[in-house]
Amino acid sequence: MIEPNMATMLSYITTDAAVEQPALQAALKKAVDSSFNRISIDGDQSTNDTVLALANGTVKNKPLSEDSTEWNVFFQALKKVCFELAMMIVHDGEGADKFVTVNVAGAASDGDAELAARAVANSLLNKTAWAGTHPDWGRIMDSIGYSKAQVDENLVSIHYDGVQAVADGMRSEIPQEELIKVVSQSDFAINIDLHIGEGKATVYTCNCTEEYVRINF
């Protein structure tokens, strides 16, 4: 059960630096929003979840704040740690053997882009297609369509990594075998462009296999 805001997850991040509590809280929220809150294993949230950042001040520096000259270095390091931990969770998804990055660009807003990306990432039809090495772009179009993002199906383009599956809402001329090669990999990206605006978002997910069903039976 992982589609954070957050879910079934305990993460503890520590630093020897001294950091002012309000600044650390704000930094952690920003870091979590772009990492832990951008992953989905099965779309199910749960009641137990925690991400803690603890600063013990062992190095006895002047407590960092958002105005400190060293702040950006600290913040980027925190973001990197959160991101790497979040990616480990996706790679360790129950029964999963494929890591899938869903990128959406050209949306009316970043919020719309996230709606579309989450719809694609959470769709069981998509997840099982990836498990079966089937590049079913029709299922992706369907997910985008019901996502509540602003969409004109005649403008949508979809690439599996760099291989185009859909152009202007229609199947491309690329042979199916080329798409299958991409989906056969253990790590690939689905790149969607809605060609409406400048909004963009990324969600990280995995496939859904028979092993997932067995574990949760």
Give per-residue pLDDT as tens, 9-43: 889 999 999 999 999 999 999 999 999 999 998 87
pLDDT of residue 183: 98
For residue 6, pLDDT over 60 is answered with no
List residues with catalytic annotation: 8
Q: State how far the Cα of 193 lies from the Cα of 110, in Å rounded to an integer.
A: 13
| CA dist., res. 39 & res. 50, Å (int) | 15
Write down the pLDDT at residue 5.
53
* Per-residue 3-state assignment (H helix, E strand, C coil) for 145-190: HHCCCCCCCCCCEEEECCEEEEECCEECCCCHHHHHHHHCCCEEEE
The CATH fold assigned to 9-91 is arginine biosynthesis bifunctional protein fold (3.30.2330)
CATH topology identical between 9-91 and 99-216? no
pLDDT one-digit tens code per residue, 152-184: 999 999 999 999 999 999 999 999 999 999 999
Which are the contacts of 50, defined by CB distance < 8 A and separation ≥ 6?
6, 9, 10, 11
Section 209-214 average pLDDT: 91
Whole-structure pTM value: 0.92
pLDDT of residue 49: 80
Give the Cβ contact number of residue 164 at 10 Å: 18
- The predicted-structure confidence for 57-95, as pLDDT tens digits, reads as follows 999 999 999 999 999 999 999 999 999 999 999 999 889
Average pLDDT across the chain, whole number = 94
User: Are the C-beta atoms of residues 43 and 122 closer than 8 Å to each other?
Assistant: yes
CA–CA gap between residue 196 and residue 109 (Å, rounded): 9
Is the pLDDT reported for residue 7 higher than 60? no
Reply yes or no on domain 99-216 having CATH 3.40.30.10: no
Q: Domain locations in the chain?
A: 9-91, 99-216
Contact 64, 111 (CB under 8 A): no
187-193 and 99-107 as β-strands: parallel, antiparallel, unpaired?
A: parallel
Residue 44: what pLDDT?
Answer: 73
Between CA 147 and CA 142 the distance in angstroms is 9
